[in-house]
Amino acid sequence: MKRMGANSILFFILVIAYFRSESRFMMFRWIGYLLCATALFACNTASNVRQTVIVDSVSIVDNIPGYDVNQYPYVLTLADWTFHEDEFESSWADTPYVGIYKQGKKMYLDTTRIYAHPVRDELRDFFRDGHIKSAWRVTASKKEPSIVLMPVTVTMKRGEMEYVDLTEEETQCLPGDSVQFMFHDKKYTLKAQLIAKQLHAEPNYQLSIHYEKDDEQHTQVLINDFTYEECNRIYFAGDIDNDALPDFLINTSNVFNTTVLTLYLSSAAEGKDLLKVMGMLLSSVN
C-alpha cells in the first residue's frame, strides 16, 4: 500500500508539471517522465496483485528432480516424434517398450517396438551442409498414438489400467489450485502454489501431493521450480505399476517451448514418500 501511494503522488505531481510547462521542449520532456512513471506504477501494481505464500526457507525442498535425463533408470521416449541429436540415443531404438494408450474412455498398457532414423534438424542443421542429418525421427511398430513409451518391467501388465479422470482444468496445475481425488478408497490432494522464501522475493512454483501412508498424513513435493511459465501439466494419473497406488506423468518444464515429461512411480518409492522419479524425457522439436 505504501509503494502504491508513493507512485500515485509522483504521478500526480508529474501531471501538474506537464500542464504548467511553458515551452514545447519542456512539454515533451514531461511526457517522457509521465510514460516512465506510468510504467513504474503498472509494474508495482502487478507485483502486488500476484499473491504468494511466505514460508520459512527450511520448508523449501531442494531435492526436486532436475533435468539430467541420464540420472534416472528409465528411458522415456515418444513415437512419431523428432528429437535433437542430444535428446535421443540411437541405442534406445530397435528395442521393446511399453506404452500408455487411450481408447475412448479407457487407458491401457501395450507393448511396442521403436525405430529411429536420422533426419535433418530444421533448426540446428539450417546453416550446415545439406547432407547433414543430426536429428532423430522415432517411430513405433504399434501405430496407435501413445502418451509416452517406457521400458518393459515385471510390474507392468498389458491391458486396461485404472486411472484418475481429471478435467482439462485440473491437469493444468495452476497456482492456487487444489485437486482432490479418491483412488482405491484413499484420498489424495494435489496442491499448486507460488511460495516465496522472503517478502518481495521471486516465488518458487511448487506442486505437492498430500496423502496417507502407514496411518499418517504426509506431503511430498513433486515440483519446486524457481520460475513459472504455465508449462506444467499432468499427462496421466493412475496405476502404471499395478500396486493400487497412483502414478503420474507430468510435464515439469519451466520453458514454454520445451517439454520435460517426468515419470513418478509409487512402486519405487522409499520411506514415507509416495512416489519416486524413474524417468525423464526432454524434447523440444517434433
Per-residue pLDDT for the chain (286 aa), expressed as one digit of tens each?
Answer: 434 444 455 445 544 554 555 554 455 455 555 555 444 444 443 333 333 333 332 222 233 344 455 567 888 999 999 999 988 988 888 888 999 999 999 999 999 999 999 999 988 998 888 889 999 999 999 999 999 999 888 788 899 999 999 999 999 999 999 999 999 999 999 999 998 777 667 788 999 999 999 999 999 999 988 877 778 899 999 999 999 999 999 999 888 788 889 999 999 999 999 999 999 888 875 5
Gyration radius from the chain CA atoms: 25
Prediction pTM value? 0.73
84 contacts: CB under 8 Å, gap ≥ 6: 121, 123, 124, 134, 135, 284, 285
Within a 10 A sphere around the Cβ of 107, how many other Cβ atoms?
21
Which residues, at least 6 apart from 159, have a Cβ–Cβ distance to it below 8 Å? Answer: 108, 109
Torsion sign, CA atoms 276, 162, 260, 191: negative
Q: How many CB atoms neighbour CB 78 within 10 A?
A: 22
What is the three-class DSSP state of 265? strand
Place of cell 521542449: 25
- Are the C-beta atoms of residues 117 and 138 closer than 8 Å to each other? no
The cell 512454483 sits on which residue? Answer: 205
**pLDDT tens-place string over residues 221-272:** 999 888 777 788 999 999 999 999 999 999 998 887 888 899 999 999 999 9
Distances in whole angstroms, Cα of residue 28 to Cα of each of 9, 20, 21, 32: 21, 12, 9, 6
- pLDDT tens sequence across 54-72: 333 222 223 334 445 556 7
With H, G, I as helix, E, B as strand and everything else as coil, classify residue 189: strand
